[in-house]
Structure 1
Amino acid sequence: MSFDRESLALLDEALAVLADGFRHLPDVPQTLDVAQLREPLLAAARRLQDNAPYHHPLYVGHMQKPPHPVARLAYTLTLWLNPNNHAYDGGRASSIMEQEAIGEIARMIGWTDSQGHLCGGGTLANFEALWVAREQHPGKAIAASSQAHYTHERLSGVLGVPFRSIAADAHGRMDAAALEDALQDGTIGTVVVTLGTTATGAVDPLGRILALRARHTFRIHVDAAYGGYFTLADNLDADTRQAFDCVAQADSLAIDPHKHGLQPYGCGCVLFRDPAVRHHYRHDSPYTYLSSDDPHLGEISLECSRPGAAAVALWATQRLLPLVPGGAFAQDLAAGRMAALALYHALAGDARFAPLFPPPLDIVVWAVRADIASQASLRARALHAAAREHDLHLALVTLPRAMLETCAPVRTWDTDTLTCLRACVMKPEHREWMDEILARLDTAAALVR
């Protein structure tokens, strides 16, 4: 597969526009020896061949989606200046572009007057939200589903806050009844609601959890690092749609533009419904915040130096593909979910496989049928390896028996967990490539049998 190189001509044109803004400065002699760059750059290219083809539609393993060409170009363009979005003094234009891009994400979820910024990724976005939650409810625990991302328990430990794991139902969603039981003793100050778990794409019942908040006092943080953009999709099932329609009532939200937002890695986002949370960040830097009375991004962020290039890339992408229902960006999300549903139905019609449940978003998980559980896990691992030999790249996930019994993949359970196969069908091209994906899966499965 060839990589796009035609767009590099646009980069040359954009660099000329950028340089024109600084034409009043004295020339600096160019000492760059391009010939010297050739060997290390080509050596790096050869080293990078030792990768799975993350950019290709036959890669459905993990949540790796190539950046949009405009994001690649805008990010690279900005590197000639390398602005730092910690303060306006270090990145004036890119800081304003970040605020504009963040405002569009906030409006996507229904917030018109909120507080937020970009950060290194979902882990740091969740960390900031849980840090604010600790400050708002000191001494109280953080609760999340047993299927929530492991980072919440880890970050609770970093923050010195107790963590409570809440049982999940057979579809991997937080069990609202179990949460209600846990809330009775009044020790929980924050509930993390996951809209799109990274294991199975499960969507917690946010509406029911909001109803519990009306009877108990706690913050709701929505971890939508993976699934947040699906609020724009027009083909969600009723339960999933209901959850996304409630997001504006949460207290904070994490979303990763470097997942479905078509950005390079290092682009996460945290948002707070109440802008007053900025007082928790209050600090002074006598040499940094000089050029504006408005809050610099570093004054409302735990991170200090942050790449302005990430903000420019996101801004340019959203200028090309606005975050609006029915737009091209939303249509691509819907296409990914359609591909995931096509994969699910094909697996459901194949006696060799046992898919868990229809995908709420675009992750599909299935077991390989066998007489006993341990054998099913072995077959899944073997199929994973065989598929890779046929250039079909899947992932593996280990799930508890309680989530698998309804799809009955085995006759006898000799283990409490089962290793299953997992596909992230998140590229727009996956819809057109599904026949090829299924053909390669069938070939690999025949070899394993």
Structure 2
Amino acid sequence: MPQDPAKDPVPGLLAAAAARLANQFSDLPATPEITPAEAGSIAAVLEETAVRLGDNYPYFHPFYAGQMLKPPHPVARAAYALAMVINPNNHARDGGRASSEMEIEAVAHIARMFGWEAPDFLGHLTSSGTIANLEALWVAGQANPGRRILASEQAHYTHSRISAVLKLDFGAVPADNRGRMDLDALESELKKGDVGTVVATLGTTAIGAVDPLPEILALRDRYGFRVHVDAAYGGYFRLIPDSLDEPARRAFAAIDQVDSIVVDPHKHGLQPYGCGCVLFRDPGVGRFYKHDSPYTYFTSKDLHLGEISLECSRAGAAAVALWATQRLLPNVAGGEFAQGLAAGRRAALELDSRLRADPWFQPLAAGSPELDIVVWKVQADTLQQSSDLAQRVFDECARRNLHLALVQLPQQWFRTGDVPFDSNSGKNLITCLRSVLMKPAHESWLDLIWQEFKAASQQILGE
């Protein structure tokens, strides 16, 4: 969002595109126009809406460096709004003829990023990463009925909840001190002989950890199970292998060998909420979706996206926005989109480096961030003091319009030094500060971010 909304070019560009769209339907009989009275009422409601929306964190601004919130690209905003003139429904071509074609093209573009080419995969957009993961685990349950789902204890909590919804047994595998799935613990579970699917997370929500996918695939060769990759947050890092450390680079390089993948274009993909995506390497899993719907599919013999989706009504506008963004910024290595990812990654490494040189703070002991999430604790005599100070620094930063996040992590992930383990702290968890530097602008704004952060820290820790 521009600092001065009056200089935002999107409304003018959108108006021109909307006129072009309207002209394509000019042979239809005219419909009633909005009256001046109606226009005045709408203006008043929009004015009130704008005021209400001001009660938000500035997610669009580089000083918002907390959760995984990345503003949609202007072309995505405009294309979404343009599509809403028609409001297509991508459940069937009857409700979204053009937008269904655009979704097929956009999803193929994402699949190509992971090394899969049409027609040798199956995939579609979803309303969220949660629904995308639900579909992947539903297919896993259909393919291997009665067998367990395993995921790291650092995997997103929805995997356990989804498994419960699907009535699939779920097991959490311990993580190492870098937040990655522990391979010895995984093999111990596999030896029980009842595992049907292992979920590998490429970019955990808490710290951006990347599970050791090549080693998990090697275990698949021995024990025979499906591998589902939850790359809702981290999937696009496949485009910048040279910016990653070797373990993460190897994991993303192996992603084309898995059975299913989830990625969220509404995270790093510059899309509005909600836009998730699920992909299956075997297009034959479409058999699990088969159903009869004599009242829905009648205008085309081509594949309807509703025939390979658990969701029925889905916003065609989400597909239009994604298609337009990928036309402008293709998901290719070395392209402008990939350069934006690399900028965020560099910003994260620089912030981590500054924190390691600062006596007030301590980043994770095991090494630098794997993607673009930085986590650090406040140095203190006890875990409780450290957690309390983290909360106070967080609050003081917010008072200065610098917005970070908080996360609770095992204290053994940090160098404990003279700080004793606290048996009263609840699984020895410590509240830490966390920052997701996912905006390309974060790199050029890092000096200002650091300046405000240090001032806030001085206010609290210098007392």
- Under TM normalisation by the shorter chain, which class is it? over 0.9
Match of 1:398 among 395, 408, 412: 408
Going from structure 1 to structure 2, the CA distance change for 1:351 and 1:267 (only over 3 Å counts) comes to same
Match of 1:411 among 419, 430, 447: 419
* Contact residue 369 and residue 410 of structure 1 kept, 8 A: no
* 2:9 aligned counterpart, secondary structure: coil
Q: TM-score, normalised by structure 1?
A: 0.98
Q: Deviations over 1:233-273 (max 9, x none)?
A: 13111111000000000000100000000000010000000
Distance in 2, Cα, partners of 1:60 & 1:422: 9
* Residue of structure 1 equivalent to 2:160: 153
Distance in 2, Cα, partners of 1:241 & 1:264: 28
* Residue of structure 2 equivalent to 1:92: 97
Match of 1:17 among 9, 14, 20: 20
What pairs with 1:362-373 in structure 2 (closer than 5 Å)? 362-373=372-383
* Residue of structure 2 equivalent to 1:109: 114
Residue 321 (structure 2) pairs with residue 318 (structure 1): no
* Post-superposition offset of 1:8: 1.1
Residue 31 (structure 2) pairs with residue 31 (structure 1): no
Distance in 1, Cα, partners of 2:34 & 2:431: 56
Match of 1:355 among 360, 363, 373: 363
Distance in 1, Cα, partners of 2:337 & 2:224: 37
Match of 2:130 among 110, 119, 123: 123
* 2:419 aligned counterpart, secondary structure: strand
Residue 201 (structure 2) pairs with residue 199 (structure 1): no
Distance in 2, Cα, partners of 1:403 & 1:217: 32
**Percentage of matched positions with identical amino acids:** 57
* Residue of structure 1 equivalent to 2:187: 180
2:332 is matched by which residue type in structure 1? V
Distance in 2, Cα, partners of 1:101 & 1:248: 18
* Residue of structure 2 equivalent to 1:448: 460
* Contact residue 353 and residue 409 of structure 1 kept, 8 A: no
Q: Deviations over 1:119-141 (max 9, x none)?
A: 01110000000000000110111
2:360 is matched by which residue type in structure 1? R
What pairs with 1:282-361 in structure 2 (closer than 5 Å)? 282-356=290-364, 357-361=367-371
What pairs with 1:274-285 in structure 2 (closer than 5 Å)? 274-285=282-293
Deviates more, 1:407-416 or 1:10-19: 407-416
Going from structure 1 to structure 2, the CA distance change for 1:151 and 1:410 (only over 3 Å counts) comes to farther
Q: Deviations over 1:163-190 (max 9, x none)?
A: 1100100000001111011100111111
* Contact residue 354 and residue 408 of structure 1 kept, 8 A: no
Q: Deviations over 1:4-43 (max 9, x none)?
A: 5222111111011111211221111213421110111111
Distance in 2, Cα, partners of 1:5 & 1:36: 24
* Residue of structure 2 equivalent to 1:58: 63
Distance in 1, Cα, partners of 2:212 & 2:280: 20
* Post-superposition offset of 1:409: 6.5
Going from structure 1 to structure 2, the CA distance change for 1:297 and 1:410 (only over 3 Å counts) comes to farther
Distance in 2, Cα, partners of 1:321 & 1:418: 40
Stretches of structure 2 lacking an aligned partner (at least 5 in a row): none
Distance in 2, Cα, partners of 1:188 & 1:392: 45
* 1:181 aligned counterpart, secondary structure: helix
Distance in 2, Cα, partners of 1:189 & 1:25: 55
1:223 is matched by which residue type in structure 2? D
* 2:156 aligned counterpart, secondary structure: coil
* Post-superposition offset of 1:154: 0.5
What pairs with 1:181-260 in structure 2 (closer than 5 Å)? 181-233=188-240, 234-260=242-268
Residue 435 (structure 2) pairs with residue 423 (structure 1): yes
Aligned-pair Cα RMSD in Å: 1.0
Q: Which runs of 4+ in 1 moved over 6 A?
A: none
* Contact residue 367 and residue 409 of structure 1 kept, 8 A: no
1:38 is matched by which residue type in structure 2? A
* Post-superposition offset of 1:401: 2.6
Residue 78 (structure 2) pairs with residue 73 (structure 1): yes
1:116 is matched by which residue type in structure 2? G
* Residue of structure 2 equivalent to 1:262: 270
Residue 8 (structure 2) pairs with residue 8 (structure 1): no
* 1:215 aligned counterpart, secondary structure: helix
Distance in 2, Cα, partners of 1:15 & 1:39: 23
* 2:402 aligned counterpart, secondary structure: coil
Q: Deviations over 1:259-297 (max 9, x none)?
A: 000000010000000111111000111111111222200
2:50 is matched by which residue type in structure 1? A
Going from structure 1 to structure 2, the CA distance change for 1:20 and 1:410 (only over 3 Å counts) comes to farther
* Post-superposition offset of 1:402: 3.1
Q: TM-score, normalised by structure 2?
A: 0.95
